[in-house]
Protein backbone atom coordinates (compact mmCIF):
# COMPACT_ATOMS: atom_id res chain seq x y z
CA UNK A 1 0.00 0.00 0.00
CA UNK A 2 1.06 3.57 -0.64
CA UNK A 3 0.90 6.01 2.27
CA UNK A 4 -0.54 9.47 1.66
CA UNK A 5 -0.35 12.40 4.04
CA UNK A 6 -3.27 14.81 4.11
CA UNK A 7 -2.12 17.69 6.28
CA UNK A 8 -0.96 15.35 9.04
CA UNK A 9 -3.66 12.72 8.51
CA UNK A 10 -2.23 9.54 7.01
CA UNK A 11 -4.16 7.29 4.66
CA UNK A 12 -3.15 4.12 2.87
CA UNK A 13 -4.26 3.63 -0.73
CA UNK A 14 -3.83 0.99 -3.43
CA UNK A 15 -2.02 2.16 -6.56
CA UNK A 16 -1.34 0.50 -9.89
CA UNK A 17 2.30 0.13 -8.94
CA UNK A 18 1.70 -2.32 -6.10
CA UNK A 19 -1.38 -3.88 -7.73
CA UNK A 20 -0.55 -4.00 -11.46
CA UNK A 21 -3.00 -5.04 -14.14
CA UNK A 22 -1.17 -8.35 -14.61
CA UNK A 23 -1.92 -9.26 -10.98
CA UNK A 24 -5.58 -8.35 -11.44
CA UNK A 25 -5.80 -10.55 -14.54
CA UNK A 26 -4.26 -13.46 -12.65
CA UNK A 27 -6.73 -13.14 -9.77
CA UNK A 28 -9.75 -13.00 -12.09
CA UNK A 29 -8.54 -15.37 -14.82
CA UNK A 30 -11.19 -17.99 -14.04
CA UNK A 31 -14.03 -15.55 -13.36
CA UNK A 32 -16.93 -14.62 -15.62
CA UNK A 33 -17.70 -10.99 -14.89
CA UNK A 34 -21.39 -10.29 -15.51
CA UNK A 35 -22.21 -6.58 -15.78
CA UNK A 36 -25.87 -6.29 -14.83
CA UNK A 37 -27.22 -3.07 -16.31
CA UNK A 38 -25.84 -1.04 -19.21
CA UNK A 39 -27.05 2.43 -18.31
CA UNK A 40 -24.88 4.95 -16.41
CA UNK A 41 -21.91 3.03 -14.95
CA UNK A 42 -22.32 -0.21 -16.92
CA UNK A 43 -20.84 0.81 -20.29
CA UNK A 44 -17.68 2.43 -18.90
CA UNK A 45 -16.90 -0.42 -16.52
CA UNK A 46 -17.77 -3.19 -18.98
CA UNK A 47 -15.76 -1.71 -21.83
CA UNK A 48 -12.73 -0.93 -19.67
CA UNK A 49 -12.74 -4.46 -18.27
CA UNK A 50 -13.11 -5.96 -21.73
CA UNK A 51 -10.32 -3.79 -23.15
CA UNK A 52 -8.11 -4.81 -20.22
CA UNK A 53 -8.50 -8.47 -21.15
CA UNK A 54 -11.11 -9.76 -18.67
CA UNK A 55 -13.94 -12.16 -19.47
CA UNK A 56 -16.98 -9.85 -19.52
CA UNK A 57 -20.63 -10.48 -20.35
CA UNK A 58 -23.55 -8.05 -20.07
CA UNK A 59 -27.05 -8.61 -18.71
CA UNK A 60 -29.64 -6.11 -19.92
CA UNK A 61 -33.37 -5.96 -20.51
CA UNK A 62 -34.41 -6.36 -24.15
CA UNK A 63 -35.82 -4.46 -25.95
CA UNK A 64 -34.28 -1.28 -24.56
CA UNK A 65 -32.01 1.54 -25.67
CA UNK A 66 -29.34 0.16 -23.32
CA UNK A 67 -29.50 -3.23 -25.07
CA UNK A 68 -29.04 -1.49 -28.42
CA UNK A 69 -26.10 0.49 -27.01
CA UNK A 70 -24.45 -2.72 -25.79
CA UNK A 71 -24.81 -4.22 -29.27
CA UNK A 72 -23.34 -1.07 -30.82
CA UNK A 73 -20.43 -1.35 -28.38
CA UNK A 74 -19.61 -4.84 -29.64
CA UNK A 75 -21.38 -7.13 -27.18
CA UNK A 76 -22.95 -10.01 -29.11
CA UNK A 77 -26.43 -11.32 -28.24
CA UNK A 78 -26.24 -14.94 -27.16
CA UNK A 79 -22.45 -14.79 -26.77
CA UNK A 80 -21.56 -11.84 -24.52
CA UNK A 81 -24.96 -10.14 -24.18
CA UNK A 82 -27.86 -11.82 -22.41
CA UNK A 83 -31.01 -11.25 -20.42
CA UNK A 84 -30.44 -10.17 -16.83
CA UNK A 85 -31.34 -13.64 -15.54
CA UNK A 86 -29.07 -15.50 -17.97
CA UNK A 87 -26.10 -13.22 -17.27
CA UNK A 88 -26.66 -13.62 -13.53
CA UNK A 89 -26.70 -17.39 -13.99
CA UNK A 90 -23.47 -17.45 -16.02
CA UNK A 91 -21.54 -14.88 -14.02
CA UNK A 92 -19.26 -15.82 -11.15
CA UNK A 93 -19.02 -12.15 -10.14
CA UNK A 94 -22.09 -9.98 -10.71
CA UNK A 95 -21.46 -6.25 -11.14
CA UNK A 96 -24.84 -4.94 -10.00
CA UNK A 97 -24.84 -1.63 -11.86
CA UNK A 98 -28.54 -0.97 -12.32
CA UNK A 99 -29.91 2.27 -10.88
CA UNK A 100 -30.84 2.17 -7.19
CA UNK A 101 -34.53 1.90 -8.04
CA UNK A 102 -33.91 -0.78 -10.68
CA UNK A 103 -31.75 -2.78 -8.23
CA UNK A 104 -34.72 -2.99 -5.88
CA UNK A 105 -37.05 -4.09 -8.69
CA UNK A 106 -34.61 -6.66 -10.14
CA UNK A 107 -33.44 -8.16 -6.85
CA UNK A 108 -35.97 -11.07 -6.90
CA UNK A 109 -34.66 -11.98 -10.37
CA UNK A 110 -31.02 -11.81 -9.30
CA UNK A 111 -31.05 -13.44 -5.89
CA UNK A 112 -31.69 -17.06 -7.00
CA UNK A 113 -28.47 -17.01 -9.03
CA UNK A 114 -26.28 -15.83 -6.13
CA UNK A 115 -25.05 -19.31 -5.35
CA UNK A 116 -22.28 -20.21 -2.91
CA UNK A 117 -18.89 -18.66 -3.68
CA UNK A 118 -20.09 -16.07 -6.16
CA UNK A 119 -19.25 -12.39 -5.85
CA UNK A 120 -21.73 -9.51 -5.74
CA UNK A 121 -20.22 -6.13 -6.65
CA UNK A 122 -21.77 -2.70 -6.21
CA UNK A 123 -20.62 0.77 -7.21
CA UNK A 124 -22.88 2.45 -4.67
CA UNK A 125 -23.65 1.57 -1.06
CA UNK A 126 -27.34 2.47 -1.31
CA UNK A 127 -28.95 -0.95 -1.69
CA UNK A 128 -27.01 -2.58 1.16
CA UNK A 129 -26.90 0.35 3.60
CA UNK A 130 -30.62 1.02 3.38
CA UNK A 131 -31.66 -2.62 3.08
CA UNK A 132 -34.43 -2.07 5.62
CA UNK A 133 -36.05 -0.14 2.76
CA UNK A 134 -34.58 -1.84 -0.32
CA UNK A 135 -34.80 -5.45 1.01
CA UNK A 136 -31.50 -6.22 -0.74
CA UNK A 137 -30.09 -8.79 1.69
CA UNK A 138 -27.45 -11.06 0.08
CA UNK A 139 -26.99 -14.73 0.97
CA UNK A 140 -24.32 -15.32 3.63
CA UNK A 141 -22.19 -17.65 1.48
CA UNK A 142 -21.18 -15.12 -1.19
CA UNK A 143 -18.67 -12.26 -1.30
CA UNK A 144 -20.17 -8.78 -1.27
CA UNK A 145 -17.95 -5.80 -2.05
CA UNK A 146 -17.90 -2.38 -3.63
CA UNK A 147 -15.80 -0.37 -6.06
CA UNK A 148 -17.13 3.16 -6.54
CA UNK A 149 -15.44 5.32 -9.19
CA UNK A 150 -15.52 8.97 -8.13
CA UNK A 151 -17.21 10.20 -11.29
CA UNK A 152 -19.62 9.27 -14.04
CA UNK A 153 -19.30 6.19 -16.22
CA UNK A 154 -18.64 8.54 -19.13
CA UNK A 155 -15.69 10.11 -17.29
CA UNK A 156 -14.37 6.67 -16.32
CA UNK A 157 -14.35 5.58 -19.95
CA UNK A 158 -12.99 8.86 -21.31
CA UNK A 159 -10.10 8.94 -18.84
CA UNK A 160 -9.33 5.27 -19.56
CA UNK A 161 -9.07 5.99 -23.28
CA UNK A 162 -6.77 8.92 -22.48
CA UNK A 163 -4.49 6.61 -20.50
CA UNK A 164 -5.49 8.15 -17.17
CA UNK A 165 -7.49 6.80 -14.24
CA UNK A 166 -10.48 7.90 -12.17
CA UNK A 167 -9.94 7.34 -8.44
CA UNK A 168 -12.29 4.88 -6.72
CA UNK A 169 -13.23 3.80 -3.24
CA UNK A 170 -13.54 0.13 -2.28
CA UNK A 171 -15.24 -1.67 0.58
CA UNK A 172 -15.81 -5.22 1.76
CA UNK A 173 -19.24 -5.99 3.20
CA UNK A 174 -19.04 -9.77 3.30
CA UNK A 175 -16.06 -12.09 2.79
CA UNK A 176 -17.39 -15.62 2.42
CA UNK A 177 -14.54 -17.03 0.31
CA UNK A 178 -11.57 -15.30 1.90
CA UNK A 179 -10.85 -13.67 -1.47
CA UNK A 180 -13.29 -10.74 -1.40
CA UNK A 181 -10.59 -8.09 -1.03
CA UNK A 182 -8.47 -9.48 -3.87
CA UNK A 183 -11.55 -9.70 -6.08
CA UNK A 184 -12.54 -6.13 -5.25
CA UNK A 185 -9.07 -4.66 -5.83
CA UNK A 186 -8.59 -6.62 -9.06
CA UNK A 187 -11.88 -5.28 -10.39
CA UNK A 188 -11.00 -1.79 -9.21
CA UNK A 189 -7.78 -1.92 -11.23
CA UNK A 190 -9.61 -3.59 -14.12
CA UNK A 191 -12.22 -0.86 -14.48
CA UNK A 192 -9.47 1.75 -14.71
CA UNK A 193 -9.09 3.27 -11.25
CA UNK A 194 -6.25 5.71 -10.72
CA UNK A 195 -5.90 4.61 -7.12
CA UNK A 196 -8.26 2.93 -4.63
CA UNK A 197 -8.99 4.14 -1.11
CA UNK A 198 -10.77 2.10 1.54
CA UNK A 199 -14.21 2.93 2.91
CA UNK A 200 -17.32 1.02 4.00
CA UNK A 201 -20.75 0.79 2.42
CA UNK A 202 -22.33 3.27 4.84
CA UNK A 203 -19.64 5.93 4.45
CA UNK A 204 -19.69 5.56 0.67
CA UNK A 205 -23.40 6.19 0.36
CA UNK A 206 -23.46 8.95 2.99
CA UNK A 207 -20.66 10.86 1.24
CA UNK A 208 -22.08 10.14 -2.21
CA UNK A 209 -25.60 11.33 -1.47
CA UNK A 210 -24.25 14.40 0.33
CA UNK A 211 -21.94 15.21 -2.58
CA UNK A 212 -24.59 14.76 -5.26
CA UNK A 213 -27.06 16.98 -3.43
CA UNK A 214 -24.25 19.32 -2.40
CA UNK A 215 -21.25 20.66 -4.28
CA UNK A 216 -21.37 18.20 -7.19
CA UNK A 217 -24.86 19.00 -8.44
CA UNK A 218 -27.48 20.51 -6.12
CA UNK A 219 -25.49 23.26 -4.44
CA UNK A 220 -23.58 24.26 -7.56
CA UNK A 221 -26.78 24.65 -9.57
CA UNK A 222 -28.32 26.68 -6.75
CA UNK A 223 -25.26 28.96 -6.60
CA UNK A 224 -25.27 29.34 -10.38
CA UNK A 225 -28.94 30.33 -10.33
CA UNK A 226 -28.46 32.82 -7.49
CA UNK A 227 -25.52 34.67 -9.05
CA UNK A 228 -26.95 34.61 -12.58
CA UNK A 229 -30.28 36.00 -11.33
CA UNK A 230 -28.65 38.80 -9.34
CA UNK A 231 -26.54 39.85 -12.33
CA UNK A 232 -29.52 39.80 -14.70
CA UNK A 233 -31.72 41.74 -12.29
CA UNK A 234 -29.03 44.42 -12.09
CA UNK A 235 -28.96 44.92 -15.85
CA UNK A 236 -26.22 42.56 -17.05
CA UNK A 237 -26.79 40.76 -20.35
CA UNK A 238 -27.39 36.98 -20.52
CA UNK A 239 -23.99 36.53 -22.16
CA UNK A 240 -22.17 38.51 -19.49
CA UNK A 241 -24.08 36.86 -16.64
CA UNK A 242 -23.46 33.35 -17.96
CA UNK A 243 -19.80 33.90 -18.73
CA UNK A 244 -19.11 35.34 -15.27
CA UNK A 245 -21.16 32.67 -13.52
CA UNK A 246 -20.46 29.42 -15.38
CA UNK A 247 -18.18 29.67 -18.40
CA UNK A 248 -15.16 31.21 -16.71
CA UNK A 249 -15.46 28.79 -13.79
CA UNK A 250 -15.80 25.59 -15.82
CA UNK A 251 -13.56 26.43 -18.79
CA UNK A 252 -10.80 28.48 -17.20
CA UNK A 253 -10.55 28.21 -13.44
CA UNK A 254 -11.66 24.70 -12.45
CA UNK A 255 -9.26 22.89 -14.80
CA UNK A 256 -6.41 24.86 -13.21
CA UNK A 257 -7.72 24.19 -9.70
CA UNK A 258 -7.85 20.48 -10.60
CA UNK A 259 -4.23 20.61 -11.73
CA UNK A 260 -2.74 22.78 -9.00
CA UNK A 261 -5.18 23.41 -6.15
CA UNK A 262 -7.17 26.42 -4.95
CA UNK A 263 -4.19 27.92 -3.13
CA UNK A 264 -2.33 28.06 -6.45
CA UNK A 265 -5.37 29.69 -8.08
CA UNK A 266 -5.54 32.33 -5.36
CA UNK A 267 -1.81 33.03 -5.75
CA UNK A 268 -2.05 33.37 -9.52
CA UNK A 269 -5.03 35.66 -10.00
CA UNK A 270 -5.18 39.44 -9.86
CA UNK A 271 -4.71 41.08 -6.46
CA UNK A 272 -8.24 42.46 -6.72
CA UNK A 273 -9.74 39.01 -7.30
CA UNK A 274 -7.49 37.50 -4.64
CA UNK A 275 -8.47 40.02 -1.98
CA UNK A 276 -12.17 39.70 -2.76
CA UNK A 277 -12.11 35.92 -2.74
CA UNK A 278 -10.34 35.76 0.61
CA UNK A 279 -12.70 38.33 2.12
CA UNK A 280 -15.90 36.61 0.94
CA UNK A 281 -15.10 32.89 1.18
CA UNK A 282 -15.82 32.70 4.92
CA UNK A 283 -19.17 34.42 4.52
CA UNK A 284 -20.22 31.85 1.95
CA UNK A 285 -18.84 29.00 4.09
CA UNK A 286 -20.70 30.17 7.18
CA UNK A 287 -23.91 30.75 5.22
CA UNK A 288 -24.06 27.29 3.63
CA UNK A 289 -22.59 25.09 6.38
CA UNK A 290 -25.96 24.83 8.21
CA UNK A 291 -27.52 23.66 4.95
CA UNK A 292 -24.87 20.95 4.63
CA UNK A 293 -25.48 19.88 8.24
CA UNK A 294 -29.20 19.54 7.47
CA UNK A 295 -28.36 17.64 4.29
CA UNK A 296 -26.05 15.18 6.06
CA UNK A 297 -28.66 14.57 8.74
CA UNK A 298 -31.28 13.85 6.09
CA UNK A 299 -28.90 11.37 4.43
CA UNK A 300 -27.76 9.62 7.62
CA UNK A 301 -31.30 9.16 8.97
CA UNK A 302 -32.38 7.45 5.74
CA UNK A 303 -34.73 10.25 4.80
CA UNK A 304 -33.05 10.91 1.45
CA UNK A 305 -33.21 7.19 0.64
CA UNK A 306 -36.90 7.16 1.54
CA UNK A 307 -37.60 10.15 -0.72
CA UNK A 308 -35.69 8.56 -3.60
CA UNK A 309 -37.40 5.18 -3.29
CA UNK A 310 -40.88 6.68 -2.89
CA UNK A 311 -40.39 9.01 -5.85
CA UNK A 312 -39.06 6.30 -8.15
CA UNK A 313 -41.92 3.98 -7.26
CA UNK A 314 -44.55 6.39 -8.58
CA UNK A 315 -45.99 5.40 -11.94
CA UNK A 316 -45.64 8.92 -13.36
CA UNK A 317 -42.18 9.59 -11.94
CA UNK A 318 -40.44 9.66 -15.33
CA UNK A 319 -42.99 12.12 -16.69
CA UNK A 320 -42.56 14.43 -13.70
CA UNK A 321 -38.78 14.11 -13.86
CA UNK A 322 -38.68 15.03 -17.53
CA UNK A 323 -40.80 18.11 -16.81
CA UNK A 324 -38.36 19.24 -14.09
CA UNK A 325 -35.39 18.65 -16.38
CA UNK A 326 -37.17 20.49 -19.20
CA UNK A 327 -37.65 23.52 -16.96
CA UNK A 328 -33.95 23.45 -16.12
CA UNK A 329 -32.96 22.96 -19.74
CA UNK A 330 -35.18 25.76 -20.99
CA UNK A 331 -34.27 28.28 -18.29
CA UNK A 332 -32.66 31.45 -19.62
CA UNK A 333 -29.35 30.63 -17.94
CA UNK A 334 -28.90 27.28 -19.68
CA UNK A 335 -30.30 28.59 -22.96
CA UNK A 336 -27.55 31.21 -22.71
CA UNK A 337 -25.12 28.40 -21.96
CA UNK A 338 -26.12 26.53 -25.11
CA UNK A 339 -25.44 29.65 -27.17
CA UNK A 340 -22.11 30.36 -25.45
CA UNK A 341 -20.91 26.77 -25.96
CA UNK A 342 -21.79 26.95 -29.65
CA UNK A 343 -19.43 29.92 -30.01
CA UNK A 344 -16.41 28.22 -28.48
CA UNK A 345 -13.58 27.97 -31.02
CA UNK A 346 -13.10 24.49 -32.42
CA UNK A 347 -9.89 22.67 -31.58
CA UNK A 348 -7.27 23.15 -34.26
Q: Which residues are catalytic, by number?
A: 124
CB 89 within 8 A of CB 67: no
Question: How far is it, in rounded angstroms, from Cα 208 to Cα 152?
Answer: 12
Q: Omega before 170 cis (within 30°)?
A: no
Q: At 150, give phi and psi (nearest 5°).
A: -85, 60
Q: Where are the alpha helices (DSSP H) in the chain?
A: 21-27, 42-51, 65-72, 84-90, 100-110, 126-129, 131-134, 153-161, 180-190, 201-213, 218-233, 238-242, 254-260, 262-267, 271-300, 303-312, 317-329, 332-342
CB 98 within 8 A of CB 74: no
Beta partners for 148? 169
Question: How far is it, in rounded angstroms, from Cα 103 to Cα 110?
Answer: 9
Question: How far is it, in rounded angstroms, from Cα 58 to Cα 68?
Answer: 12
Q: Where are the alpha helices (DSSP H) in 7-62?
A: 21-27, 42-51
Burial, 54: exposed, middle or buried (Cβ in 10 Å; 0-12, 13-18, 19+)? buried
Strands 33-36 and 93-96: parallel
DSSP per residue over 141-206, as a string? TSEEEEEEESS-HHHHHHHHHTT----EEEEEEE-SSS-HHHHHHHHHHHTT-SEEEE--HHHHHH
Longest dimension (CA), the chain: 67
Amino acid sequence: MAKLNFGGVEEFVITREEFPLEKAREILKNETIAVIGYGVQGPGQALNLRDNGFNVIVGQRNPSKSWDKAVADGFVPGETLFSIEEAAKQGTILLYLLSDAAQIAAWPQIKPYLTSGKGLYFSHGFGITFNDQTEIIPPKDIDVFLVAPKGSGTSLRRMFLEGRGLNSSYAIYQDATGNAKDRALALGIGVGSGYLFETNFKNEVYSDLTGERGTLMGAIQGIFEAQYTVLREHGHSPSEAFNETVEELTQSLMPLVAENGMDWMYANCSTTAQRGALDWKNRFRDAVRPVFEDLYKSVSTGNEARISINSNSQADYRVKLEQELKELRESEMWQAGRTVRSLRPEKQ
